[in-house]
Structure 1
Amino acid sequence: MDRAGIVHETFLKRVAAHDFPQGPAARRDVSPEKMVEIFRAQCLSRQLDRTSRAMQKAGQGYYTIGSSGHEGMAAVAESLRPTDMAFLHYRDAAFQIQRAAQVPGQTPAWDILLSFAASRDDPISGGRHKVLGSKTLNIPPQTSTIASHLPKAMGVAYSIGLARRLKPDHSTLPYDAVVMCSFGDASANHSTAQGAINAACWSSYQSVPMPLLLVCEDNGIGISTPTPEGWIAANFAHRPGLRYFACNGLDMTETLAVAGAAAAYVRRHRKPAFLHLRTVRLYGHAGSDVEATYRSPQAIAADEANDPLLHSVRLMHERAACAPQDALAIYNEADAACTRIAAQAVTRPRLKTREDVAASLIPPARQVVPSNGPDASERQTLFGSDMRAMTEPQPMGRLISWALADLMHAHKEIIVAGEDVGRKGGVYGATQKLQARFGPDRVIDTLLDEQSILGLALGLAHNGFIPIPEIQFLAYLHNAEDQLRGEAATLSFFSNGQFTNPMVLRIAGLGYQKGFGGHFHNDNSLAVLRDIPGLVIACPSNGADAAMMLREAVRLAREEQRVVVFIEPIALYPMRDLHVAGDGGWLHHYPAPDQRIALGDVGVAGDGTDIALVSYGNGRYLSEQAAAILVDQGIAARVVDIRWLAPQPDAAILAATQDCASVLIVDECRRTGSQSEALLSLFAESGRTRVARLTAEDCFIATGPAYAATLPSVEGIVSAALELAQGAS
């Protein structure tokens, strides 16, 4: 049965008959005019839902998950300011419509219908998805999020106080702003939501400013799974550092009053609040959902009898704000307007080509304030006794630390954040002395939660900072990878380049650590990163490259608003020698602060033409050792370090290997899903025939003496290279 049609017809009949559901009397502290204004937003939201279904039925619309039953969010919008950033649940069209009423010149019906039609004129996504969102209204777009937007909402809330103290150039939120984040009762159970809320409470408990309003829209069911009665209140009403508010979302006047009180609390005290908004869900989960297959007719009818629009008409009638017949006229006017506007929206052009679709994948470049520059006296003060050490070659770990210090000195908007990065200076010392040099505002020791670390970074980036978050080990990223895949890398794409979250994510990873940690601390899989569109992945193999590539990574984030993942090979942090003990062959001088390695530049060692050993990270280190042995075997090799794993520098790799008789790919990651697959494809498609690869086994890494048993070795490289080169001769 067409539940949308039934709800519509029932509304018309009950309003005409003055047959309203029972409920508390309308509050007197909401003006009649404001009640009518909110009701108009509610009606438009409802009629947009109905129109979206008609458009889909006609083959002109593509997504019908709607907001019906959640129209109380219009009152929540009215309790906030347009300068308060809002991360919306997908059922919050009423919120966006009411916020649009607060800003002159907005056309919410036209905008949302263009999104329904997947038109390239859609002002938020450019036709890439049906999303709520608006740059003008301070609403970053969200897709069908399952709590993945909560961590970054927490991060934005934290950023507001930080921006007041540090004043980054691209900060956009006023100092008294509130961040609103809404989600469903089912999403509240997700580990992402629990982690973000816990991080907000953890900060608030320590009196760290956290102006975050969490709005849980509780309709009692998650697709087909009921939420236990009383669960949301029991779960969130008594959390330390979090103030709990509750209201009946079917009552616009109560919602406006309670939401206003919650927003005022957050704005005044700079502490998080949880607004528990009781709603109903009408029409089922989405257009394709047949609710009758898993809910009883009685339960469906009970929700439909509690239609919030019926409650709104009753409340306006009680206050003499709007007679029922006038309310019907408003409802029907919204219906006619949606029908009329939809007829125009479906005629607007849609995306057609892959170039059209991918146009917003890479964020637009932006104007930035020039660097502070390497002022000699300031650097002397900053580095102190380290200036003497800079005259001597050093291992990678120390050069990364110095590069971070130089970058933070040059760019005041850089924030380093992660577990143990401050007082301890990082597990491997890569962030040593940074907190002492720049203070705890810029070098933040976070709680132990990778989702919250990345959410903090995403939020900071929304408000003008360039975050450099750290994940301690590559294996730990898997706890939080959706913050990259579903949030960071998609924001520019789904906002048509209007919203960005530039950052440089540092991750200690890969294998070859002796006797420590097994596969949790020696993770040699980059597959989860390699297929994320738009992501830049860097992997240096030595200290000098690391410093210069890190500078390029920050430039990419700062100027081109890119999301960069910087993989630092753990085993190479302390590496000093290359061929024999004491030779210092893997120590490097610290490059001058203005030196960097551009995205796509590869490294080449040697000029042999018998074979090219193409690798990165630890593989480059091993390949150089192997190349020295191959010389004694009569094989002249060169080592090509690709450095940048995504986008893979195809042209540079081919140019660096074109005069070599054979190519051996040395990949320390697993055979399945590793970079070697893309490199093999590159060489095959370019017509190369003498190509082979040596990879790690499809196996986890062991602790103890067998730590490298499943990984490429110098001996293995030499053997494979000899076989390949001799076969070519």
Structure 2
Amino acid sequence: MDRAEIVHQNFLDHAVKGNLPEGAAPSGRLSPDLAVSIYRAQVLSRALDRTSRAMQKAGQGFYTIGSSGHEGMAAVARALRPTDMAFLHYRDAAFQIARADQVPGQNIAWDMLLSFACSREDPTSGGRHKVLGSKALMIPPQTSTIASHLPKAVGAAYSIGAARRHDPEHRVLPQDGLVMCSFGDASANHSTAQGAINTACWASVQSTPLPLLFVCEDNGIGISTKTPKGWIEASMSHRPGMRYFQADGLNIHDTYEVACEAAKYVREQRKPALLHVRTVRLYGHAGADVPTTYLSKAEVEADEANDPLLHSVRLLSQAGTLSRQEAAQIYTDTCARVERIRSEAVTRPHLETATDVSASLIPPARTCRSGNGPSPEARAEVFGSDLRAQSEPQPMSRLINWALTDLMLEHGELVAMGEDVGRKGGVYGVTQKLQQRFGPDRVIDTLLDEQSILGLAIGMGHNGFVPIPEIQFLAYLHNAEDQIRGEAATLPFFSNGQFANPMVLRIAGLGYQKGFGGHFHNDNSLAVLRDIPGIVIACPSDGAEAAMMLREAVRLAREEQRVVVFIEPIALYPMRDLHEAKDGAWMRSYPSPDQRIALGDVGVNGEGTDLAIVTYGNGRYLSTQAQAELHNQGINARVIDLRWLAPLPKDALLAATKECSRILIVDECRTTGSQSEGLMAMFHEAGTSQLARVVAEDCFIPTGPAYAATLPSKDSIVAAALRLIGEDQ
């Protein structure tokens, strides 16, 4: 007999016979009606766990990480408001069920069984995953998270205070609300959890409003690895800026009482707290897990004897609210009801085609207030003397700064954040004066933690803001890439488009920095971004294009709720000259605020038909130099600037190259994993026969004079072009 069946039989036997675990007597503010409601939520959670395992055995269900042992979270749910956004641990079915009791019109058992069955009618994910989550219940869906949801919970909590100062058009969280985030004791050790908790404490110590309730559900084990006894209390109870509460999750009276106290503290003090809830884990980690392979039978049976449902039966009986027989009858009736619902849920249709599955990758567009751009009077006041310089050619860094200024002036929901973006104005001065112009509430100097920077952005996006986070260098993204891959980009997909976290992520990157910094500051790889479905990747090559593309990026985030990654080539920030010193040929005048470059529009420079050079970023700069030299040798080439790296502008590229029989791809990223691979495949499939590429070596970039040795150059581009021309002669 498996452990789930043993726990089931134990409950039926012990509940009726009165062989119940010992514990504290019922006390506190939990009313009889509410106690029964919590118990019913606990029982439904248990019944669903049992049914999910039966469904998997029958080939009707596909996910069995259950909530058994964690049913005390139902009491935490009832201590909060249903408008308090909750980012849930995957064992929190009882929380979601109890919250559904607070919101009219819910059919939670049916909804969750549709999710177990991966039916396309599942109201949360549309059949894409078994997830806890609900738009109506203010629970953004999470997959099997290992603490990756904590940074965005910090951001969402921060957004509540920020919205009091600058109320965004699409705000969803009440201004007196709080954010709740739950996780397991094993996940508490993850660097992402530690970073998020540290960030919350860091902000709290500085008196930043942060109404956030962390809930650590401590069952003492992570799959098979035990958590040292007392570890959570020892490591969490004395964090500066964060209040610690402890509750017995086996006792619904104690859990409810302490959760109410914790919520009251967070809501009134606008400070973070951690609620440490003692639980047990029943059945093992998941369906295929056999706990007796790494725990003694005595340890497993000791947890089973502490079944929280048996504790609830004892408490209800002692309070005179329900007899043991009545409590047992609720259990058997609920199990039977779940089985009846299951028989119908498993007949509901599933997703079938790739089009069906991918339909929610891109979130739906939303209606936004239209504007006519910032007024001349507002621009004059904000820009001051910079306004006169806008008709004169300028380098890219300054034009991006002016574009950010205009955008933030027009759209009050735009918020920039990152390390050094405020008072310092960014490592390269791109965000200079922005904090003076818009204040520290909208240009936020963060602590040094990329996970927290992106989590802040994701969380603020949940509450109607349009964040513009900055990662100082492309290589630093690797410290936090899962915040994009596993969180921001997947949210529309797993919520069937019901939730989105729009943003424009600015990253200074790529190579050619004349010996500075080595591979940590000259990272010539975008591979970590290229394979993330649904995101937009932009890379401008001159200042005017950067300004116009940034405006489109903000439009995409603001109106279409997209996640846009905006790669800014550091080497081109200060670039002034093109062919010779002091020619000023790479500077541009600032385009008027109403000008933008639409997603998918490529740049075509020149009308030559002998050769098309397809490139982007620094490659366009070098290719333009090579274009002039090739012209001197009688070869007329055109340079095509990709601008948008994802989604790849296939139709525009084919149209721009159709008059050219030879195509040379210039890509400063590495031979392996670069954009050139996809471009080569695309042009080959389109029938182009004369095709070549110039790419970087599969090597890191060194510091010092050899900084560009592994990268494409003007000379290597010219040489490759001559070879390609020569092959056809």
TM-score, normalised with respect to structure 1:
1.00
Which residue in the other structure is 2:600 paired with? 600
Shift of 1:28: 4.3
Answer whether contact 2:600 2:652 (CA < 8 A) is retained. yes
Write the letter of the residue equivalent to 2:442: R
The 3-state SS of whatever aligns with 1:728 is coil
Comparing 590-599 with 655-664, which one deviates more in the overlay? 655-664
Q: Does 1:171 align with 2:171?
A: yes
| Deviations 1:677-714, CA, capped at 9 Å, x for gaps | 00001011001110011100000000010010000011
Shift of 1:610: 0.8
Mapped to 2, the partners of 1:161 and 1:675 lie a distance apart of 41
Which residue in the other structure is 2:77 paired with? 77
What does residue range 682-693 of structure 1 map to in structure 2 within 5 Å? 682-693=682-693
Which residue in the other structure is 2:403 paired with? 403
Shift of 1:372: 5.1
Mapped to 2, the partners of 1:249 and 1:374 lie a distance apart of 54
Shift of 1:373: 1.5
The 3-state SS of whatever aligns with 1:247 is strand
Shift of 1:391: 1.6
Mapped to 1, the partners of 2:704 and 2:118 lie a distance apart of 55
Which residue in the other structure is 2:243 paired with? 243
Mapped to 2, the partners of 1:501 and 1:32 lie a distance apart of 40
Q: Does 1:256 align with 2:256?
A: yes
What does residue range 117-516 of structure 1 map to in structure 2 within 5 Å? 117-371=117-371, 373-516=373-516
Answer whether contact 2:188 2:194 (CA < 8 A) is retained. yes
Answer whether contact 1:662 1:728 (CA < 8 A) is retained. no
Mapped to 2, the partners of 1:496 and 1:563 lie a distance apart of 16
Write the letter of the residue equivalent to 2:687: G
| Deviations 1:365-410, CA, capped at 9 Å, x for gaps | 0100112523111111110000111121000000000000000001
Mapped to 1, the partners of 2:160 and 2:31 lie a distance apart of 32
The 3-state SS of whatever aligns with 2:30 is coil
Mapped to 2, the partners of 1:385 and 1:324 lie a distance apart of 79
Write the letter of the residue equivalent to 1:30: L
Write the letter of the residue equivalent to 2:335: D
Mapped to 2, the partners of 1:661 and 1:530 lie a distance apart of 28
Which residue in the other structure is 1:87 paired with? 87
Answer whether contact 2:396 2:587 (CA < 8 A) is retained. yes
| Deviations 1:187-215, CA, capped at 9 Å, x for gaps | 00000000001000000000100000000
Which residue in the other structure is 2:31 paired with? 31
Which residue in the other structure is 1:584 paired with? 584
| Deviations 1:568-616, CA, capped at 9 Å, x for gaps | 0000000000000011010000000000000000001111111111100
Which residue in the other structure is 2:656 paired with? 656
| Deviations 1:253-273, CA, capped at 9 Å, x for gaps | 000000110000000100000
Write the letter of the residue equivalent to 1:189: N
Percent identity, aligned pairs only, is 72
Root mean square deviation, CA, Å = 0.6
Mapped to 2, the partners of 1:17 and 1:61 lie a distance apart of 34
Mapped to 2, the partners of 1:176 and 1:29 lie a distance apart of 23
| Deviations 1:112-153, CA, capped at 9 Å, x for gaps | 000000001100100000000010000000000000000000
Write the letter of the residue equivalent to 2:618: N
Mapped to 2, the partners of 1:286 and 1:73 lie a distance apart of 19
Answer whether contact 2:248 2:278 (CA < 8 A) is retained. yes
Mapped to 2, the partners of 1:121 and 1:334 lie a distance apart of 23
The 3-state SS of whatever aligns with 1:277 is strand
Write the letter of the residue equivalent to 1:83: T
Mapped to 1, the partners of 2:43 and 2:570 lie a distance apart of 58
Shift of 1:31: 1.5
Which residue in the other structure is 1:5 paired with? 5
What does residue range 718-729 of structure 1 map to in structure 2 within 5 Å? 718-729=718-729
| Deviations 1:644-676, CA, capped at 9 Å, x for gaps | 000000111111111112111000000000000
The 3-state SS of whatever aligns with 1:693 is strand
Which residue in the other structure is 2:702 paired with? 702
Mapped to 2, the partners of 1:412 and 1:435 lie a distance apart of 14
Answer whether contact 1:157 1:211 (CA < 8 A) is retained. yes
The 3-state SS of whatever aligns with 2:693 is strand
Mapped to 2, the partners of 1:603 and 1:582 lie a distance apart of 25
Q: Does 1:672 align with 2:675?
A: no
Mapped to 2, the partners of 1:501 and 1:686 lie a distance apart of 36
Mapped to 2, the partners of 1:686 and 1:717 lie a distance apart of 23
| Deviations 1:705-727, CA, capped at 9 Å, x for gaps | 00100000111000000000121
Shift of 1:512: 0.2
Shift of 1:514: 1.0
Structure 2 residue runs without a partner (length 5+): none
Which residue in the other structure is 2:627 paired with? 627
Write the letter of the residue equivalent to 2:462: H
The 3-state SS of whatever aligns with 1:711 is coil
Which residue in the other structure is 1:547 paired with? 547
Which residue in the other structure is 1:681 paired with? 681
TM-score, normalised with respect to structure 2:
1.00
Runs of 4+ in 1 over 4 A off after TM superposition: none
Mapped to 1, the partners of 2:322 and 2:379 lie a distance apart of 69
Shift of 1:29: 2.6
Mapped to 1, the partners of 2:69 and 2:290 lie a distance apart of 17
Mapped to 2, the partners of 1:177 and 1:381 lie a distance apart of 36
| Deviations 1:494-518, CA, capped at 9 Å, x for gaps | 0011001000000000000012100
Mapped to 2, the partners of 1:382 and 1:32 lie a distance apart of 60
Comparing 374-383 with 520-529, which one deviates more in the overlay? 374-383
Mapped to 1, the partners of 2:604 and 2:35 lie a distance apart of 70
Q: Does 1:526 align with 2:526?
A: yes
The 3-state SS of whatever aligns with 1:568 is strand
Write the letter of the residue equivalent to 2:144: S
Mapped to 2, the partners of 1:411 and 1:272 lie a distance apart of 30
Mapped to 1, the partners of 2:295 and 2:28 lie a distance apart of 37
Mapped to 2, the partners of 1:58 and 1:670 lie a distance apart of 48
Q: Does 1:58 align with 2:58?
A: yes
Write the letter of the residue equivalent to 1:723: R
Answer whether contact 2:153 2:212 (CA < 8 A) is retained. yes
Which residue in the other structure is 2:616 paired with? 616
Mapped to 1, the partners of 2:556 and 2:409 lie a distance apart of 17
Mapped to 2, the partners of 1:194 and 1:14 lie a distance apart of 41
The 3-state SS of whatever aligns with 2:727 is helix
Which residue in the other structure is 2:21 paired with? 21
Answer whether contact 2:28 2:254 (CA < 8 A) is retained. no
Write the letter of the residue equivalent to 1:671: T
Mapped to 1, the partners of 2:234 and 2:420 lie a distance apart of 33
Mapped to 2, the partners of 1:610 and 1:537 lie a distance apart of 30
Which residue in the other structure is 2:574 paired with? 574
Mapped to 1, the partners of 2:33 and 2:410 lie a distance apart of 53
Answer whether contact 1:613 1:637 (CA < 8 A) is retained. yes
Mapped to 1, the partners of 2:37 and 2:409 lie a distance apart of 51
| Deviations 1:556-575, CA, capped at 9 Å, x for gaps | 00110000000000000000
Answer whether contact 2:70 2:279 (CA < 8 A) is retained. yes
Mapped to 1, the partners of 2:445 and 2:594 lie a distance apart of 29
Write the letter of the residue equivalent to 2:598: A
Structure 1 residue runs without a partner (length 5+): none
Distance 1:171-1:9 versus aligned 2 partners, 3 A rule: same
Mapped to 2, the partners of 1:487 and 1:28 lie a distance apart of 39
